Structure 1
Amino acid sequence: MFRRLPALMLALGTALILTLAPVPMTPAAGAEARTDIIRAAYTLLMDHFYRVPAPDALLGAAWTGATRTLIAEGARQPLPEPPALPGDRDAAWGAFTHAYAALAALAPEHLSQIDLAFAAVDAMAESLGERHTTFLPPPVYQAFLAQLGGSAAEGVGLGVRLSTRAPWMILELAPDGPAARAGLRPGDTFLAVDGQDVSTVARPALQRALARPEGTPLELLVERPDVGPITITVVVGRFRFPDLQAKVLAAGTGYIRLRSFSSFLRDPSGRPNVIDELDAALAAFESEGVERWVLDLRGNAGGFGYTANALIGRFLPDVVTSRVANQRGQAGEHASFGSPFPVQRPLAVLVDGGSASASEIVASTMQEYGRALIVGTRTAGALAGALLFPLPEGAGLEIAVEEVRTGRGGVLVDGRGVVPDIEVVDDRTPADFAAGRDPQLAAAVAALHGRSVLPAPPPALPGQLGATELRRQLSRYFPPAEEVPATADITAPRHLGDLALSQPSEYVGALGPVPDALGLAQLVRSRGWLGSYSRFYGEVPGPAGPYLSVTVDVYRSQAGAYAALLSNDAPALLEAISPPVQLGDGTVAYRGAWLNAGASILVWRQGRVVITVTSQAVPGRESFEPVVALARAVDARLRAAPLPELAPQPAAP
């Protein structure tokens, strides 16, 4: 069935706080007002923000943002008075665009109409007062997309994570990154860059001082604890912070640091995703005699909610992890993908003010179901489901599309945070970082001492196909990327990754929020569902942008496949329409709604398999043309080599 990449759960302001690349102004490009940029953002916010905005307030904020920028850039005075904006959506836009043309005409030559429109969009997003609703200038948008792509995403710079304000102390170094190779250490504090004092500057000034092309040497003067000022030359280069790192600490503690809930897809090269890495780490801990686990989510600003639910499922069975809704009457819930590790050790989760969004889903779920001790300080209180939308000129817009509450208690975390069970303030000094001291980690380990191993989880129910077997049986039905049609948003599709699902709860999670996640998982099992395999094609890693996907769901019998074909398991997300083509043994089609806005979906049955082809486009640019072309290519492969029927099962004695 349809596989929609779930809403992001990531607080952007936290996630990109250490980006060291400046955001340049766009070169001036003519005097024509770029109302198309503002109109695109206005339409997206009106259609998708989870609280229905007031049109006059939204466009009033756009006017304020534009005038503020004009004044800052030295525009001719006086500026026009704000227009009177009615409460009707279309009428408000008409009044705004007429007045904005006169305002934009006053822009000085050095200020481009693109940047003026960007300022208006930024002000609209900011006016909604929601941390997941953010305008992304082109460089930031591209950095965000790369971050969501996972551990393979590289940056160019020093490869350091710094304190959030001056004095700029190094908290962490990218393994084998430029700073690490040059000899910088945690606890070193920046004093000067190429002779320029940066000891007390604000972040933008530090960014400008450090932003250099790859290969550029930088002379850094740093204060090292117990040593004093020293000079180190670092050559700007490529670096990568792995999403997950694991190690065994003293006294039998398995420590896992998770920096981001990045893409859950399996990379075409076979590189493991973070859940694969988590499984490997837990297995390695057992071979090394580990007695307890610590999961460190400090500074983890979130990512894909799907990845968070998969992680929770390694420590808990199928449980409801979050309940989501908007003010448009749409609602649903998410559940974990219960596939617990065979041995369940005592667990602590470290959090702080930088633990946001998907991290707060994990922390609140572990706390509400009593699975882990939460140690550290109150989390960010930035929890909502968001989608990314591209804007003209390479910019982007992140929009909160759902309010999120905790799964068991229905508690609103946004604006409040998750309160730890054991509160420990992180007041480390440079000397502490240099010596590797960590009072929060020490408190977590101490709290776990003496706690017993939990009872072994029940074994997985038999009958499902494993990921390896799904890939072996079904890969032949998927065309290579060069045979995948282009779309209005995808010029040159490439294979972004695949997803093999073996548990009914994973099937449900891939749909998105549904009214009864646990009940639907049972229904899926009763149909004889054996597993599914999907491939995603597009241009943006993750994928966090437009994509095409093909999914093949395998059932034990044709009857089960037929029942699945006729069932709309996510009614809030899928609107049935007349199919543009008939394939196989029956075809249905859907148009995406709510979190699936922009989706065009074709589903058909061929024997005991159900095939789904999806085009996820920018809303307003949907087309079934590439869907039909891709579906016909897949259908031809299925007809040429049908999946054989299973032998009848013997009757139970």
Structure 2
Amino acid sequence: MEDQRKEKRILLKGALYGALTMFMAALLVLAGLTATGRISLHTDAISAGTSRKAAEIQSIIENQFLYEDEVREEDLQDMSLKGYVAGLGDPYSVYYDKEETEDLLASTEGKYAGIGALMAQDQETLEITVQEVYEDTPAEDAGMKNGDVLLSVDGKDVTGMSLSDVVDLVKGEENTKLTVTVRRDGSSIDMEMTRKIVENRTVKTEMKEGGVGYLKITEFDSVTYEQFQNGLETLEKEGMTALVVDLRDNPGGNLDTVCQILDLLLPEGTIVYTEDKNGERVDTKTSDDEHQFTKPLAVLVNGRSASASEVFSGAVQDYGTGTIIGTQTYGKGIVQTLYSLSDGSCLKLTTAQYFTPDGRNIHGEGITPDIVVEKSADDQTDNQLEKAVETVQNAVDGTEKE
């Protein structure tokens, strides 16, 4: 027993020493960057005092920590780096370990290996229900239907599990098999599937009454541009006379993607430009004169429309090509850059702020709608969408109504 305790202490000491070495190496790298002027940090944070304090903490943990057999050097290293970046005080600057980086890149691409089913979790019962089955996917081929309740994945009971953990079980390597068990009409059904690459459905297309096209964008991923372009072409072929673009609850996403979409709608000119910490303009996105949407346009926004959604609504508002309707947007007018690190991890760092075509920086303020419409408490009606449809229909008719 004593030998086992000694062995655990040796392992713990090794893990702590390795993590401390990694942490101090990272500090030295950042100190070197500071010295060269490539970044600006408070050098007092990288001092002999910091090194001594870290060594003190290491000693206390080594001698007193109860769960010494559960300590992993990799976890200590990752968390020390996460903590260092968190010390910047910027909620948008984050260190991601290798696994988190892979998930992050997959989410921004809008593609993943899975079954092609949208799921939601009841906050009271914790049941996970299929909300939508995408076309031409393993879920559709296996006969999965809207309303199916997930019971297990590959024999693992998912009762009470978080939605994100269940999604992780369902996703996996392309061409790998899995069995999903669901409950339908009181019976359990086993469905065997083979995972394949599935695109996130980020654009919903619908034709409303009176020839008003409706495009709902849930987020701006790499796949969103093509989905938006296809949706717009479909509505045009169906005789669209006006368009409503719904960006409510859209948290943003890929800046290049939203600029590609705006290039289909705006006249020639600036879409958005960014400035670095020195006030130097570092990037300007522009639209050409090849495409321009000239029909009546309304854009729906709310307090959860952020970042790329505000680039979209801000540009439309500045050019006057559409009417912004809803409530004040979130107010995220800064840009993050992703830096890949040598071990497959990455650093997401705030590096610039963006400005609308008219030079507005809306960080902390948001976009004020042209027509403010608070969401009705009645869940049976969507008064904001109704106002948007009415607005563009009035523009088509050449009339105005209060």
Q: If the length of structure 2 is used for normalisation, what is the TM-score?
A: 0.71
Matching residue of 1:110: 70
The letter for the 1-side match of 2:323 is L
The letter for the 2-side match of 1:450 is N
Matching residue of 1:571: none
Matching residue of 1:369: 319
Matching residue of 2:213: 254
Question: How far 1:449 moved relative to its partner?
Answer: 1.0
Distance 1:363 1:124, change over 3 A: farther
Distance in structure 1 (CA, Å) of the matches to 2:31 and 2:241: 49
Aligned residue for 1:345, secondary structure, equals coil
Question: How far 1:123 moved relative to its partner?
Answer: 2.5
Q: Check conservation: 2:214, 2:243, Cα contact below 8 A.
A: yes
Matching residue of 2:288: 338
Distance 1:190 1:442, change over 3 A: farther
Matching residue of 1:448: 392
Matching residue of 1:292: 242
Aligned residue for 1:450, secondary structure, equals helix
TM-align CA RMSD: 4.3
Distance in structure 1 (CA, Å) of the matches to 2:282 and 2:74: 38
1:404 to 354, 368, 382: 354
The letter for the 2-side match of 1:141 is T
Q: Check conservation: 1:388, 1:399, Cα contact below 8 A.
A: yes
Task: Say if 2:367 is the partner of 1:418.
Answer: yes
1:42-81 aligned within 5 A:
43=29, 53-54=41-42
Q: Check conservation: 1:51, 1:327, Cα contact below 8 A.
A: no
Q: Check conservation: 2:353, 2:361, Cα contact below 8 A.
A: no
1:354-503 aligned within 5 A:
354-391=304-341, 393-408=343-358, 410-413=360-363, 415-420=364-369, 421-425=371-375, 440-452=384-396
Distance 1:341 1:329, change over 3 A: closer
Matching residue of 2:18: 33
Distance 1:103 1:323, change over 3 A: farther
Task: Say if 2:155 is the partner of 1:155.
Answer: no
State percent identity of aligned pairs: 20
When structure 1 is superposed on structure 2, of 335-344 and 303-312 the one drifting more is: 335-344
Distance 1:368 1:343, change over 3 A: closer
Matching residue of 1:184: 145
Cα deviation per residue 1:172-203 (whole Å; 9 max; x = unaligned)?
Answer: 54334444553432xx48585576543xx655
Structure 1: where are the runs of 5+ without partners? Answer: 1-27, 56-86, 223-227, 264-272, 455-653
Question: How far 1:257 moved relative to its partner?
Answer: 3.7
The letter for the 2-side match of 1:359 is S
Matching residue of 2:86: 126
Aligned length: 368
Cα deviation per residue 1:371-413 (whole Å; 9 max; x = unaligned)?
Answer: 2233445444344211112345432221111133444252333
Matching residue of 2:6: none
Aligned residue for 1:418, secondary structure, equals coil
Matching residue of 2:100: 140
The letter for the 1-side match of 2:360 is G
Distance 1:319 1:424, change over 3 A: farther
Q: In proportion to residue count, which structure has more helix?
A: 2
Distance in structure 2 (CA, Å) of the matches to 1:377 and 1:40: 47
The letter for the 1-side match of 2:100 is V
Cα deviation per residue 1:216-271 (whole Å; 9 max; x = unaligned)?
Answer: 3232347xxxxx877554546333224445454443122334344344xxxxxxxx
Distance in structure 2 (CA, Å) of the matches to 1:274 and 1:131: 26
Distance in structure 1 (CA, Å) of the matches to 2:272 and 2:31: 24
Distance 1:161 1:127, change over 3 A: farther
Question: How far 1:349 moved relative to its partner?
Answer: 2.1
Q: Check conservation: 1:165, 1:203, Cα contact below 8 A.
A: no
Matching residue of 1:215: 177
Distance in structure 2 (CA, Å) of the matches to 1:102 and 1:164: 46
Distance in structure 1 (CA, Å) of the matches to 2:159 and 2:255: 42
Q: Check conservation: 2:265, 2:293, Cα contact below 8 A.
A: no
Aligned residue for 1:394, secondary structure, equals coil
Structure 2: where are the runs of 5+ without partners? Answer: 1-11
Distance 1:294 1:393, change over 3 A: same
Q: Check conservation: 1:37, 1:391, Cα contact below 8 A.
A: no
Question: How far 1:205 moved relative to its partner?
Answer: 6.1
Cα deviation per residue 1:63-99 (whole Å; 9 max; x = unaligned)?
Answer: xxxxxxxxxxxxxxxxxxxxxxxx2646566556655
Distance in structure 1 (CA, Å) of the matches to 2:177 and 2:61: 40
Distance 1:288 1:196, change over 3 A: closer
The letter for the 1-side match of 2:118 is V
Question: How far 1:44 moved relative to its partner?
Answer: 6.2
Question: How far 1:144 moved relative to its partner?
Answer: 1.8
Question: How far 1:441 moved relative to its partner?
Answer: 3.8
Q: Check conservation: 1:148, 1:262, Cα contact below 8 A.
A: yes
Distance in structure 2 (CA, Å) of the matches to 1:443 and 1:215: 47
The letter for the 1-side match of 2:319 is Y
Question: How far 1:30 moved relative to its partner?
Answer: 5.7
Distance 1:147 1:211, change over 3 A: closer
Matching residue of 2:255: 305
Cα deviation per residue 1:272-300 (whole Å; 9 max; x = unaligned)?
Answer: x6545545544443333110112233444
Q: Check conservation: 2:225, 2:258, Cα contact below 8 A.
A: no
Q: Check conservation: 2:251, 2:304, Cα contact below 8 A.
A: yes
Aligned residue for 1:364, secondary structure, equals helix
Cα deviation per residue 1:106-164 (whole Å; 9 max; x = unaligned)?
Answer: 672332111112112222333434342123232221122123335xx223256315369
Cα deviation per residue 1:498-531 (whole Å; 9 max; x = unaligned)?
Answer: xxxxxxxxxxxxxxxxxxxxxxxxxxxxxxxxxx
The letter for the 1-side match of 2:334 is A
Distance 1:404 1:291, change over 3 A: same
Task: Say if 2:195 is the partner of 1:240.
Answer: no
Distance in structure 2 (CA, Å) of the matches to 1:29 and 1:175: 54
Cα deviation per residue 1:331-378 (whole Å; 9 max; x = unaligned)?
Answer: 456343233635511112233455332122112222333322334454
Distance in structure 2 (CA, Å) of the matches to 1:178 and 1:328: 50
Q: Which has the higher contact order (CA 8 A, sep 6+)?
A: 1
1:571-590 aligned within 5 A:
none
Q: Check conservation: 1:297, 1:351, Cα contact below 8 A.
A: yes
Q: Check conservation: 1:41, 1:391, Cα contact below 8 A.
A: no
Aligned residue for 1:349, secondary structure, equals strand
Question: How far 1:51 moved relative to its partner?
Answer: 9.8
Question: How far 1:424 moved relative to its partner?
Answer: 4.8
Q: Check conservation: 1:159, 1:240, Cα contact below 8 A.
A: no
